[in-house]
Amino acid sequence: MFLDGMDELDKKIVLLLIENARMSYSDIGERVGISRVAVKARIQAMENKGIIEEYTAIINPQKIGGAVSCYFEIETLPEKFSYVAQKLNENEIITQIYRVTGTSKLHVHAVASSNDEMENLMNNVIDNIDGIVKYNCNIIISRIKDIKGLRL
């Protein structure tokens, strides 16, 4: 895949970071054949361009006792779309919000500490947001594949 602003060496570095974001500049340099200093400079350049946005730990909610993970398909009134997205964005249980095509205008992921907390999100938050036409909720039973970000 051709990505503007990235050469083959940058792609190799990014693939190593996707595999292990904690890999040292020295280890990356050994694997791609350049110095630690050159690796650091390339990574900083990609961070400055916004190609690399962040480094994070990813927690699997299914491994935490009691956690409930689900996604919602939410249809809004067109004139209330921004308002609905803003209200959802304010809730800490909601982890991801995507604008999508088709009947549903929003695809929303949420992770709650319990079924009660998820039910509270639906009954006391989502049901009360002006502009939501309809929604459905799908509980995630298990994670089969979950890729973060762009694959090169």
CATH number for position 106: 3.30.70.920
Q: Is the pTM of this model over 0.75?
A: no
Measured at the CA of 57, the angle between CA 56 and CA 59, to 5 degrees, comes to 135
* 42 and 66 fall within a common domain: no
Using CA atoms, how far apart are residues 150 and 152, in angstroms rounded to an integer?
A: 6
Evaluate whether residue 151 is within a structural domain. Answer: no
Q: Are residues 101 and 126 in the same domain?
A: yes
Its domain, for residue 93, covers: 61-139
Count how many domains the chain has.
2
What is the bridge-based pairing of β-strands 106-112 and 68-76?
antiparallel
Whole-angstrom distance, CA of residue 24 vs CA of residue 67: 33
Residues 132, 89, single domain; the answer is yes
In-domain check, residue 97 = yes
Residue in 103, 107, 69 with CA at minimum distance from that of residue 85: 107
Do residue 123 and residue 65 come from a single domain? yes
46's tokens: 């990609």
| H helix or E strand, kind and range, residue 18 | helix 8-19
For residue 145, tell me if it sits in a domain. Answer: no
User: Both 74 and 39 in a single domain?
Assistant: no
**Do residue 133 and residue 78 come from a single domain?**
yes
Q: Please tell me whether residues 131 and 65 are part of one structural domain.
A: yes
Q: Would residue 101 count as lying in a domain? A: yes
Q: Are residues 29 and 65 in the same domain?
A: no
Give yes or no: residues 113 and 44 share one domain: no
pLDDT tens track, the chain, 152 positions: 445 568 889 989 998 998 889 999 999 999 999 999 999 999 999 999 888 988 877 776 666 677 899 999 999 999 999 999 999 999 999 999 999 997 779 999 999 999 999 999 999 999 999 999 999 999 988 888 877 666 56
Q: What CATH number is given to the structural domain containing 25?
A: 1.10.10.10
Specify if 100 maps to a domain. yes
